[in-house]
Structure 1
Amino acid sequence: MSLFKRLIDAIGGTASQAFANVMESVRTVFAGDPEMRRKVAFSVAMIALSAKMAKADGIVSQEEVTAFQEIFAIPDEEAANVARLYNLAKQDVAGFDVYAERIARLCGSGTANCAMLEDILDGLFHIAKADGVVHQKELDFIALVADIFGFDERNFDRILARHVHPDGIDPFAVLGVSPDLPFAEIRKKYRKLAAESHPDALQARGVPEEFLAIANDRMAALNAAYRAIEKQQEPA
């Protein structure tokens, strides 16, 4: 039985009334398999918030659909179940805040800036900018989700700087550091972010293999920012 079919069967008719029940059921349906629970939790989170973001924006472009499919290389046997979950999320009367709060609890750490929650924000930005621009309603949506996830303004701005930079990329913003911070401290922050963004770390917290291409983009942004700052520190 496929993963999403197993999940839908386990929650029965409740899914037709509230998609939030789907996310709550992840805890119990996959209680005996923590690794699978992490993977399903991430996938359900992305399906739920992607659907809600599409509804908030009012327009679902083909580029956004393609971007969603890049995150989930959905096998043919799963396509109908994933589509059903996506449509349930769009139709559910519950607001996105209900989804985001339950997703934050699925993270399991109970702490702000949980790594999996940052992965989800990256996924939302990936989909939002697929048509060439992050529209204001999409940006507002992601910012509100980040707030519910527990990200403070400084950490959200750090994530935002990787995706939206109309005035050019600010390497200090990408690393979330002040330009007057000693270089040794900047290096320390860079190494911490790089370790959290390593593909092995993402896989360990349940991120699907398909998402690793997006993780590679994050690493490229971090590396480029660090090199730019390092070059500025070189003596003339």
Structure 2
Amino acid sequence: MVFDHARGQLTSFLEKVLSAVGEAAGSVLGRVVEAVRTIFEGDPETRKQVAFSVAMIALSAKIAKADGIVSRAEVDAFRQIFEFPESEAAHVARLYNLAKQDVAGIEAYATQMATLCRTCAGGPCQILDDVLDGLFHIAKADGLIHENEMAYLARIAEIFGFDKDYFERVKARHLHVGGTDPYDVLGVSPSDDFPEIRRRYRSLVSEHHPDRLIARGVPVEFHAVAHERMAALNAAYEAIEKERRAA
């Protein structure tokens, strides 16, 4: 989950965090955040990777519960993002269930996870963009995004520091009700000239290239979502290009 060549290390990473958290029920959020900060204080790169994994596991649990039902499709979507050996399943499942049952609400989790990711990256970091994309992937896994889930996603985006226009672009990549508007996906306007649209497209492709995700410490297993994001960007650009050529 953390790095492809470090699969064996993830178990020990989560074991350390969960050992520090303990078995007590109730509010575990503070204990999880403090454990990640303390255990990996001298290793900011590992802390960044663990922070991403913890954020995705915890917020995935909260989002899956937002509509009142944790569906099998949502759990499967989570496992698609985090392919992990069965030897690690118990640790991942324990953290997932702790977050799902925690008395702390989703806003508290989003706030603390944003702080944790920013702290480990030295400032606002693009990892939060990857987390938001992953949460959309899970929320839509059962065929629709419930209004409660959408409200939570919007609030998480706000807490992460993304403006409304940015949130709408992310939503456009994932929701195809009535057909996708390719201009919304790329964050451009039909009034923009094509060279400007092409520059925007190339910038987005560069920003979201899988190599960039690796550099940000995003686990290889998360690239299923990254490829879905790239496919949406490519399809939007091709649709606009085809439309402009026809015109």
TM-score of the two chains, using structure 1 as the length reference: 0.91
Once the two structures are superposed, the pairs formed by residues 28-107 of structure 1 within 5 Å of their partners are 28-107=38-117
The aligned residue for residue 186 of structure 2 is 175
Matches within 5 A, 1:13-28: 17-28=27-38
Q: CA deviation at 1:131?
A: 1.3
Gaps of 5+ in 2: 1-10
Corresponding residue for 2:154?
A: 143
Whole-angstrom CA distance in 1 between matches of 2:237 and 2:116? 32
Residue in 2 that maps onto 1:192: 203
Q: Distance in 2 between matches of 1:85 and 1:129?
A: 22
Deviation at 1:172, TM superposition (A): 0.4
> How many Å separate the matches in 1 of 2:24 and 2:164?
36
- What's the secondary structure of 2:237's corresponding residue? helix
* 1:203 correspondence with 2:214: yes
**Alignment match of 1:8 (pick from 10, 18, 27):** 18
Contact 2:21–2:28 under 8 Å retained in 1: no
Distance apart, 1:200 and its partner CA: 0.7
Q: Could you say which residue in structure 1 is the equivalent of 2:145?
A: 134
Q: Which amino acid aligns with 2:47?
A: R
Aligned length: 234
For the Cα contact (< 8 Å) 2:21–2:32, is it kept in 1?
yes
What is the CA–CA distance in structure 2 between the aligned matches of 1:79 and 1:235, rounded to whole Å? Answer: 52
Please give the per-residue CA displacement for 1:100-136, whole angstroms capped at 9, x wherever unaligned: 111112232544xx42111111111111111111121
Paired with 1:44 and 1:15, the residues of 2 have a C-alpha distance of: 18
Specify whether residues 16 and 135 from structure 1 end up closer, same or farther in structure 2 by C-alpha distance, changes over 3 A only: closer
How far does the alpha carbon of each residue in 1:154-201 deviate from its partner, in whole angstroms, 9 at most, with x for none? 000000000012110111000111111222222222122111111111
| C-alpha contact (below 8 Å) 1:41/1:106 kept by paired residues | yes
CA deviation after TM superposition for structure 1 residue 222, in Å: 0.5
Query: What is the identity, as a one-letter code, of the residue corresponding to 1:88?
Result: L
**Paired residues of 1:158 and 1:176 also in contact (CA < 8 A):** yes
Letter in 1 for 2:95: L
Change (3 A) 1:15 1:204: farther
**What's the secondary structure of 2:235's corresponding residue?**
helix
1:158 — aligned with what?
Answer: 169
Q: Which moved more, 1:93-102 or 1:31-40?
A: 31-40
| 1:213 aligns with one of 218, 224, 240 | 224
Q: Secondary structure at the match of 1:20?
A: helix
Q: Which residue identity lines up with residue 64 of structure 1 in the other structure?
A: E
CA distance in 2, matches of 1:10, 1:92: 16
Q: Could you say what secondary structure the match of 2:140 adopts?
A: helix
- Measure, in 2, the Cα distance between the counterparts of 1:220 and 1:54: 24
Structure 2 CA distance for partners of 1:206 and 1:15, relative to 1, 3 Å: farther
Question: Distance between the aligned counterparts of 2:167 and 2:149, measured in 1?
Answer: 14
- 1:224 paired with 2:235, answer yes
What is the alpha-carbon distance in structure 1 between the residues aligned to residue 117 and residue 196 of structure 2?
A: 29
Q: Residues 63-118 of structure 1: CA distance to partner in whole angstroms, max 9, x if unpaired?
A: 1111111111122222112111112112221111111111112232544xx42111
Q: Distance in 2 between matches of 1:152 and 1:142?
A: 12
- 1:231 CA displacement: 2.1
